[in-house]
A and B are shown apart, each in its own frame.
Chain A
């Protein structure tokens, strides 16, 4: 399976600021995804990061709040913009596709724990 790293691993931010989270994979992958895990909750898909085109957002998530970049097949960023305390969550990237080891399995990064004051 692919090795996935995320930066930063955690951060404490002030209300109204923005944070960019990086996701790096050690091999080329077709699909990359961004999830949010609110405290004590399950995972919710934010968007699918598409290489060379705009991300595909799920219902309830918009590009202005969560802009995503995918410049190549091994890297993606998620920005959480104009943060409020409700954005305090763990943000996880995942990868799927042939290079992840299986065409239908997703593997997850270690997550970024964000606290907004």
Chain B
């Protein structure tokens, strides 16, 4: 079945540092890829997505590019803020109303 692997956390950064959270997937066919964010005490919010190879998803300064050749969808942000502190989930799937497979989540803490 499908699987998603994220870099282990937690990740701790200072404000304005560069962020990368690695995500790789294994799937049959070409799934859509997603990043979701979960702020403390809240549900999941869609951060960005990409539906085909070489697509770049972007939102709130975050970016991720669908790399078919490396089966990756790494999340990046050039300058993180304290308000970005949250848990980030990479997910694959969603084709034809299908289910999502989630990575294990990466806890990000940003210090002032």
**0 or 1 for each of B72-112: is its CB under 8 Å from A? (1 = yes):** 00000000000000000100001111011011110000000
Taking a contact as CB atoms closer than 8 A, the residue among A97, A106, A109 that contacts B100 in the complex is A106
A contact patch SS: strand
The verdict on A108 contacting chain B, using a C-beta distance below 8 Å, is: yes
Give A97 to B94 CA distance when docked, in angstroms. 10
The verdict on B69 contacting chain A, using a C-beta distance below 8 Å, is: no
The verdict on B61 contacting chain A, using a C-beta distance below 8 Å, is: no
The bracket for how many chain A residues form the interface is 20 to 34
Give the nearest-CB partner of A92 in chain B: B43
Taking a contact as CB atoms closer than 8 A, the residue among A48, A105, A109 that contacts B99 in the complex is A48
The bracket for how many chain B residues form the interface is 20 to 34
Given A30-B97, A96-B94, A97-B97, are A108 and B103 also a contact pair (CB < 8 Å)? no
The verdict on B58 contacting chain A, using a C-beta distance below 8 Å, is: no
Residues of B contacting A58 in the complex (Cβ-Cβ under 8 angstroms): 99
Q: Which of A1-42 contact B (CB under 8 A)?
A: 1, 30-31, 33, 41-42
Given A31-B97, A97-B97, are A108 and B105 also a contact pair (CB < 8 Å)? no
Give A92 to B104 CA distance when docked, in angstroms. 16
Taking a contact as CB atoms closer than 8 A, the residue among A1, A105, A110 that contacts B94 in the complex is A105
Give A110 to B45 CA distance when docked, in angstroms. 9
Give A42 to B100 CA distance when docked, in angstroms. 12
**0 or 1 for each of A93-117: is its CB under 8 Å from B? (1 = yes):** 0101100000111111111000000
Residues of B contacting A62 in the complex (Cβ-Cβ under 8 angstroms): none
Taking a contact as CB atoms closer than 8 A, the residue among A48, A105, A111 that contacts B49 in the complex is A105
Give A41 to B102 CA distance when docked, in angstroms. 10
Q: Across the interface, do A42 and B32 meet the contact criterion of CB distance under 8 Å?
A: no
Q: Across the interface, do B104 and A105 meet the contact criterion of CB distance under 8 Å?
A: no
The verdict on B34 contacting chain A, using a C-beta distance below 8 Å, is: yes
Q: Across the interface, do B94 and A104 meet the contact criterion of CB distance under 8 Å?
A: yes
5 shortest interchain CB distances as A-B pairs: A104-B94, A108-B44, A110-B43, A111-B43, A43-B102
